[in-house]
């Protein structure tokens, strides 16, 4: 039976640290698959004009493509180059909720995320997405510095 690890990337150095930890853990485990995930934060509750709603689907597809190309594909290539079994996933949604959903859908054993984003949000100490994930996840969550 293979162990599955979900790694939440954020496009910053903190995500790289989570990826490095997952790689190290997978090497120790042996028979392991890594699911590299990037969540485009998106709220279904934003109020938009009719024109914005018409263009919404196209924007979502473009965001998924960009995130896959810039963040997920390079991480997948790095891990595949090290001989690891890996799959990339990009979705829209609430970060904590969506990472947990991915872990449940994929039968993951653990989620690995970084302590906080380095995206310049000064009020994040632990990271609201990270703390929400820790409090609500269906599987164990490892938080790296």
| pLDDT value of residue 122 | 40
Own/partner long-range contacts of 126-133 (Cβ < 8 Å, ≥24 apart): 129/94, 129/95, 129/96, 130/96, 132/94, 132/95, 132/96, 132/97, 133/8, 133/95, 133/96, 133/99, 133/100
CATH fold label, 3-144: Rossmann fold (3.40.50)
| pLDDT value of residue 50 | 74
**pTM recorded for the entire structure:** 0.85
| pLDDT value of residue 121 | 44
Average pLDDT, consecutive stretches of 10 residues, N- to C-terminus, the chain (145 residues): 93 93 96 96 68 77 94 97 97 94 97 74 58 93 93
* Domain boundary assignment for the chain: 3-144
Instruction: Give the span between the Cα atoms of 50 and 122, in whole angstroms.
Output: 34
SS3 for 83? coil
| pLDDT value of residue 124 | 45
| pLDDT value of residue 59 | 84
SS3 for 13? helix
Tokens of 71: 């963040």
């Amino acid at each position: 039976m293979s162990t599955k690890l979900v790694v939440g990337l954020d496009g910053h150095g903190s995500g790289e640290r989570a990826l490095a930890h997952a790689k190290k853990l997978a090497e120790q485990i042996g028979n392991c698959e890594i699911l590299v995930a990037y969540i485009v934060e998106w709220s279904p509750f934003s109020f938009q004009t009719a024109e914005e709603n018409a263009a919404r689907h196209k924007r979502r597809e473009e965001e998924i493509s960009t995130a896959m190309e810039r963040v997920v594909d390079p991480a997948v290539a790095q891990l595949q180059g090290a001989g690891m079994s890996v799959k990339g996933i990009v979705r829209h949604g609430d970060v904590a909720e969506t990472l947990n959903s991915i872990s449940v859908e994929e039968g993951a054993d653990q989620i690995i995320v970084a302590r906080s984003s380095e995206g310049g949000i000064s009020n994040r100490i632990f990271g609201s997405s990270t703390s929400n994930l820790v409090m609500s996840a269906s599987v164990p969550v490892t938080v790296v510095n």
